[in-house]
Amino acid sequence: MAPKDDGIIIGPNHHIEQTCLVGYVPQRPVPDLTLRLGANCFLRTGTIIYCGTTIGDNLQTGHNVIIREENTIGNDVSIGTGSIVEHHVIIEDGVRIHSQAFIPEFSKLEQGCWLGPNVVLTNALHPQCPQVKNCLKGATIGRRAKIGANTTILPDRKVGEDALVGAGSVVVKDVPPRTVVAGNPARVIKQIDELDCPYDLVERPYL
């Protein structure tokens, strides 16, 4: 869709590949359908961005990414191939989302956090409950936290700043800042400052 269409504002120096759909109109009512997409965006084939979302500069998407309506996305965000961002999500500056991640409604990804491939956040404590839509609560991933591949995070959980969640974990409780958790259910196994590099490339990975 051309960047000059009504209700679609795209900054300069954009690169939008064929088969992208920029400005898909959602079925659900949205107060403001304006789509704002900042400068220097790079959208790969199959990306779909709904109307009613605001995105900062330097967005990069992999192939077949879906970004729904009523989201607020900051600058320098990267969203990998096949990932889905549902509506009412906040993604702050410098967030990296790898391939096949699922970010449901009311999630918050704080500045500089990192989600590995196949990470799934959830927001429904009791799916199919008659009141489920009235109590959806997404997870919050703190600043610079890192979530390993194939991790699942339960609704309304908070992963603290600089925390590290090991691959394949299931996070059922809040994760304190600067801790390392792993397992199903995820448990604290050490502190960030205790990590070392097995290849002797650096003294500490996350000083």
Q: CA geometry: angle at 113 spanning 79 and 189, to 5°? A: 125
To which CATH superfamily is domain 8-194 assigned? Hexapeptide repeat proteins (2.160.10.10)
Nearest to 156 by CA among 203, 194, 108: 108
Annotated active-site residue 98? The verdict is no
Maximum pairwise Cα distance, the chain: 55
- Say what the pTM is: 0.96
The predicted pLDDT at position 30 comes to 95
For residues 63 and 80, is the Cβ–Cβ distance under 8 A?
A: no
Q: What values do phi and psi take at 189, rounded to 5?
A: -115, -20
Q: Which of 14, 63, 87, 126 is catalytic?
A: 126
The SS3 of residue 35 is: strand
Confidence band for 3, pLDDT divided at 50, 70 and 90: very low
**Measured between alpha carbons, how far apart are the two ends of the chain, in Å?**
45
Confidence band for 175, pLDDT divided at 50, 70 and 90: very high
Q: How many CB atoms lie within 10 A of CB 157?
A: 19
Whether the predicted pLDDT of 1 surpasses 50: no
